[in-house]
A and B are shown apart, each in its own frame.
Chain A
Amino acid sequence: MRKITTAKDAVSRIKSGDVVMVGGFLQGGSPERILEALLSDSSATDLTIVNNDTGFDTMNTYKLMEAGRVSKVYATWIGGNSITGSMYLNQPGSVTLVPQGTLAERIRAAGMGIPEFLTPTGVGTIAAEGKESKVIDGKEYLVEKALHGDVAIVHATVADEFGNCYMRGATKNFNALMPAACQYCIVEAEKIVPVGEIDPDLVTVSGIYVDAVVQL
């Protein structure tokens, strides 16, 4: 199975209506090259974007939104993207704000086969609206559901030909969680090496989750 491909080929798998998980935290570890290809080489629309923050107005998630290709967003902080901000205010229901730890755990749960979990985060706040809660040993918890995606787009420092990824420093963030939560995973890598080059102890994401590897 050959996974090394072009950005154009990789994004051709993305369909209209897909839930697309985008790794990165603000500009840190954001897979800008693949997003650029999604913008220019794909016509998929009505996308749902799952990302920590939807970036800044200078980044490609903003450009994808500007092109009218995004109809829903799940994020934790949207202070840097003016389109997400106006969607939140003017199109109720289009932007779901999720506490950051809850978003991370919902994505992790999807990848790890856990349909729902309990968390104390958000009790008594807007994050609790419409959710079931449970009291355990006198403390209240919200029931949060796993969040699955159709496609993960992530950034790696080094990937091998099998798709094993090393994600350096603070770029692990959501990049390390999203591949397991999605049906199809595209990795952009700063460097691609033969299988066996990355020390197994230093593999952040196993290649079993990865379908396409694109040289940055």
Chain B
Amino acid sequence: MDNKVFIAKRVAQMLNDGDVVNLGIGLPTMVANYVPEGITVTFHSENGIMGLGPAPAEGQEDKDIFNAGGSPVTVLPGAKFLDSAESFGIIRGGRVNMSVLGALQVDCRGNLANWCVPGKKVPGMGGAMDLVSGAKEVVLAMEHTAKGNHKILSECTFPLTGKEVVTIIVTEMCVMRVTPNGLLMTELAPGYSVDDVKAATGAPFEVAADLKVMQVPED
């Protein structure tokens, strides 16, 4: 299974019936494809949609209905459009159960850096700082390394998006939780050893006593 599909499927298994969820651009967006049967999740798009649906069929795009990446989307029955103040009030007010994002760097205290590569690329934080400080659960859905370079570090070196905000890290290798004592690996993906994860991680982590196999449903 493709790494990104594997990660998206595992994150989708963490959703609960009734959750309001915000998915970032890229890999996080794929989570919407794998919502478990029997539960209802409402997707929020911070540019102003509560009740986001899938991308429209070609030729069915509506210029007034788009997501935070500016791409055409649809809305599901029961949706509401929001202005930016209410949309972020929903985030700040604690109504978003889970925010799923990518990362440039994350560290063992749950600090996240994902908006700026100093001196090179400064696209800006957009709504990410609000999402990580307002959402109850902040899940990173990302490949474990950036082409072999560590992304999970003892301490972020890039400017932060949020301080001590990340709660769960899901990669193709493992699931880690951020605890008051640092990182705790709770699941290990088939085909990897604890040493493999250690080699790919730039921070110390504990291994849960009840370490589980990271599993996702087949297609």
Contacts and interface: CB of A to CB of B under 8 A. Distances in A.
Contacts of B70: 25-28
Given A77-B123, A88-B122, A99 B64 contact: no
Report which residue of B49, B124, B161 has the largest number of chain A beta carbons within 10 angstroms of its beta carbon: B124
B122 A169 contact: no
B102 interface: no
Given A26-B70, A28-B47, A79 B127 contact: no
B83 A127 contact: no
Contacts of A97: 122, 124-125
Given A99-B127, A101-B127, A170-B48, A29 B64 contact: yes
Contacts of B56: none
A127 B128 CA distance: 12
Interface string A48-66: 0000110000000000000
B88 A104 contact: yes
Given A27-B70, A108-B85, A170-B47, A100 B127 contact: yes
B83 A176 contact: yes
Nearest to A78: B124
Contact of B133 (A28, A123, A177): A123
Contacts of A173: 47-48, 83-84
Chain B interface mostly helix, strand, loop or mixed?
loop
Interface residues of A, number: 46
A172 B83 contact: yes
A169 B65 contact: yes
Contacts of B121: 79
Interface residues of B, number: 44
Contacts of B66: 25-26, 28, 170
A100 B126 contact: yes
A13 interface: no
Given A121-B129, A126-B159, A157-B64, A174 B124 contact: no
Report which residue of A170, A174, A176 has the largest number of chain B beta carbons within 10 angstroms of its beta carbon: A170
Given A76-B125, A97-B125, A123-B133, 14 more contacts: A27-B70, A76-B124, A76-B126, A79-B123, A97-B124, A99-B129, A100-B126, A103-B84, A104-B88, A105-B89, A168-B64, A172-B48, A173-B48, A174-B84
Interface of B: 45-49, 62-66, 68-70, 75, 81-85, 87-89, 91-92, 111, 119, 121-130, 133-134, 159-164
10 contacts: A88-B122, A89-B122, A99-B125, A101-B88, A120-B134, A124-B111, A124-B160, A171-B64, A172-B81, A176-B85
Across the A-B interface, give the 5 residue pairs with the lowest CB-CB distance, nearest first. A124-B163, A101-B88, A79-B123, A169-B64, A101-B130
